[in-house]
Structure 1
Amino acid sequence: MRHEPDVRSYAVTHPAGTIVPPQPPGWHQVLLAASGAMTVEVPEGTWFVPPGAAVVVRQGEPHRIRTTSSTRLRNLYLRGSDLGPTRVVAVAGLLRELLLTAVARAPLHRDRPHDAALAALVELELAAAGPVEPLRLPMPRDPAARRVAERILTDPGEAGGVDLLCRGSGAARRTVERRFAEETGLGVARWRRRARLAAALEALARGDPPSRVATEIGYATASAFGAMVKAELGYSPMAAVR
């Protein structure tokens, strides 16, 4: 009897909504949206994952996926290797084809030469893939800072500066700023900018027009919104969700 495989897969098309994919213990996961876009939520924060990127989820890390439109989700499960920390990575042509091929051919067994070679190539390309840092939104742990973060997520387009955001948090602005910097690596204003970016990309992936999205997240014009997206990602808003 053949032993349990070393690589498994899960391929499905999900409508808009929240998904908790199978999370077997001891297995690392690679989540790829073959079409559509998704937001992956983990205890430490969220990652917006556009087409052209994937999420590597370390084994044992609880997570769920939120989609705003029909999404072709391709999950690859690997054991017996260390894929590193949970992160979003850019998926270039070769890595994308390797992931899709591995998903289609799984289950894979490392004692089969072709299976072992495919799994090894996937792991090498994942290790070499560059991170997509602008789409990462880490959550602060400090209670006051977390209240500010949750206020931003509830209404990314809320007008007013950092002083207003910190009111009612239970700490002074200087304390909140320090906690954000220590625990997320971002100041409050930059963190809100990324939160607005994530909310905007979700809305664009859903099909909302850029002009409406710009207004909803606090930008006076679509051009100002487009400049923000290009400054963060290096390309236009619509290119981010194609």
Structure 2
Amino acid sequence: MAIRNVRSTPIAGPRDAGPPQHDSVQRRGLPLYAAGEIDVPFVVASRTELIRSETYWEEHSHPTHELLWNQRGVSSARIGGRVWMLTPVVGLWIPAGVRHSGWTPAGTRHRAAQFAVDSVPAISDRPVTVELTPLLQLLLDRLESDRLAPAARSRTEAVVLDVLAPARHRLSLQMPESPLLAPICAAVRDDPADATTLVAWAARLRVSPRTITRTFQSETGLGFSQWLATARMQHAVAMLARGDSLDEVALCVGYHSASSFGAAFRRVTGTSPGRFLLH
């Protein structure tokens, strides 16, 4: 099958988690709150926003726990040195008071739910991936209605809290900070199909392959090959969610066939790439 040229539209991946480098991005500054610093008049509050221009969310924190995901499109959030992907099927739980920043491309239908700390026990004291099952999404949709009677709202909130749980796998990547690894990260950012081997990188950077491996392991918890595969899959998820075909995505992230890409995707994410395809 012939593969058409992959679109050059920017995708949400590791390169998009930091501050914008051009003037067309809208910057949003939000306050820094400690957990529970402000009393809120709700147990769970859900909202939807259509993001009309590329948006960078400067580092901030909430007095509430927060669940972030997208009804349409893929964005990214950064907590410390780790970049998390937000999609229509996988979201991010951020405990109250945890600082985070983010990047959201134009056209994304962004979703967020806030959970009162005095009414909702944290599902984790650390940021974790949450699977947005159809049931959970329907419940959160229901909470956006201003016509919901108090008793019905309480029942809906109770079911949300009952089904809300961390996912088994996460779509996140720790970004190394060592200057030694910066050229590697930049190469993957610019071309996730870059096929430069560990040995070739070592020769280019004038260090031993073991030095690169040790540095990746110490800074990210992953070896060179594992980190590269995970970075590629973050790019792949963004492309799948915007409608690119499996063949296009496989080629763009360095695989010669959809089947080999699918196998690698499952190893990294624990699920199939078909779950993220735009429907």
Question: TM class by shorter-chain length?
Answer: 0.7 to 0.9
Aligned-partner residue type, residue 228 of structure 1: A
Superposition CA RMSD, Å: 3.3
Aligned-partner residue type, residue 176 of structure 1: I
* Separation in structure 2 between the aligned mates of residue 182 and residue 49 of structure 1, nearest angstrom: 26
> Is contact 1:137–1:195 with CA below 8 Å preserved after alignment?
yes
> Is contact 2:47–2:111 with CA below 8 Å preserved after alignment?
yes
* Separation in structure 2 between the aligned mates of residue 208 and residue 118 of structure 1, nearest angstrom: 36
> Is contact 1:53–1:91 with CA below 8 Å preserved after alignment?
yes
Report what 1:63 is aligned to. Answer: 101
Secondary structure at the residue paired with 1:212? helix
Q: TM-score, normalised on structure 2?
A: 0.69
Residue deviations 1:63-92 (CA, integer Å, cap 9, x gap): 21334x733222112232434211221122
The counterpart of 1:13, out of the listed 40, 45, 50, is: 50
> Is contact 1:151–1:165 with CA below 8 Å preserved after alignment?
no
Structure 1 position 153 matched with structure 2 position 189 = yes
Report what 1:100 is aligned to. Answer: 141
Consecutive unaligned residues of structure 2, counting only runs of 5 or more, are: 1-38
Residue correspondence of structure 1 range 162-177 to structure 2 within 5 A: 162-166=198-202, 172-177=208-213
The counterpart of 2:249, out of the listed 213, 226, 233, is: 213
Judged with a 3 Å threshold, the aligned counterparts in structure 2 of structure 1 residues 41 and 136 are, in CA distance, closer, same or farther, namely same
The counterpart of 2:67, out of the listed 30, 34, 48, is: 30
Residue correspondence of structure 1 range 79-98 to structure 2 within 5 A: 79-80=116-117, 81-84=121-124, 85-98=126-139
Judged with a 3 Å threshold, the aligned counterparts in structure 2 of structure 1 residues 8 and 236 are, in CA distance, closer, same or farther, namely closer
The counterpart of 1:125, out of the listed 139, 159, 163, is: 163
- 1:23 Cα shift? 4.9
The counterpart of 2:84, out of the listed 11, 24, 47, is: 47
Residue deviations 1:167-197 (CA, integer Å, cap 9, x gap): 5557543122123223322111011111111
Q: TM-score, normalised on structure 1?
A: 0.77
- 1:101 Cα shift? 2.5
* Separation in structure 1 between the aligned mates of residue 136 and residue 58 of structure 2, nearest angstrom: 22
* Separation in structure 2 between the aligned mates of residue 223 and residue 215 of structure 1, nearest angstrom: 11
Secondary structure at the residue paired with 1:129? coil
The count of aligned residue pairs is 234
Residue deviations 1:142-176 (CA, integer Å, cap 9, x gap): 44245533432232111221123345557543122
> Is contact 1:20–1:65 with CA below 8 Å preserved after alignment?
yes
* Separation in structure 2 between the aligned mates of residue 187 and residue 106 of structure 1, nearest angstrom: 52
Judged with a 3 Å threshold, the aligned counterparts in structure 2 of structure 1 residues 169 and 18 are, in CA distance, closer, same or farther, namely farther
Structure 1 position 74 matched with structure 2 position 115 = no
Secondary structure at the residue paired with 1:54? strand
Q: Determine which structure has the larger helix proportion and give its number.
A: 1
Aligned-partner residue type, residue 151 of structure 1: A
Consecutive unaligned residues of structure 1, counting only runs of 5 or more, are: none
Judged with a 3 Å threshold, the aligned counterparts in structure 2 of structure 1 residues 157 and 98 are, in CA distance, closer, same or farther, namely same
Structure 1 position 240 matched with structure 2 position 265 = no
Judged with a 3 Å threshold, the aligned counterparts in structure 2 of structure 1 residues 76 and 180 are, in CA distance, closer, same or farther, namely same
Percent identity, aligned pairs only, is 25
- 1:93 Cα shift? 3.2
Residue deviations 1:84-129 (CA, integer Å, cap 9, x gap): 2112211223322232223445999xxx766555445434432x33
